[in-house]
Amino acid sequence: MVKKCIYCNKEISSESVIDFCNSCGKGVWGEKMFNAIVKNMEDANDRGDLCSTNTLGKENFSSQEEEKKSIDF
């Protein structure tokens, strides 16, 4: 599956842990912050801490929504 940058719609790798291209990321956050974001996202991905809509089915989202509704604050 090919992903597209959320800012410019340029194609990016489906393996990318971010949803924007390098040039847009650096333009939005600057080079140092962009590099920190990418590194932290890649580290989180390696640890298995990222949740992807590709790995969760609709049933998981609906059960999470039901849990939120059942919690009284």
Query: What's the pLDDT score for residue 56?
Result: 46
Query: What's the pLDDT score for residue 58?
Result: 47
Query: What's the pLDDT score for residue 2?
Result: 82
Q: How many CA atoms lie within 13 A of 25 on its CB side?
A: 20
pLDDT in tens, 11-56: 999 889 999 999 999 999 999 999 999 999 999 999 988 876 554 4
C-alpha 44, offset from chain centre: 11
Query: What's the pLDDT score for residue 22?
Result: 95
Query: What's the pLDDT score for residue 50?
Result: 81
Q: Scanning the structure block, which residue is given the tokens 């939005």? A: 28
C-alpha 68, offset from chain centre: 22
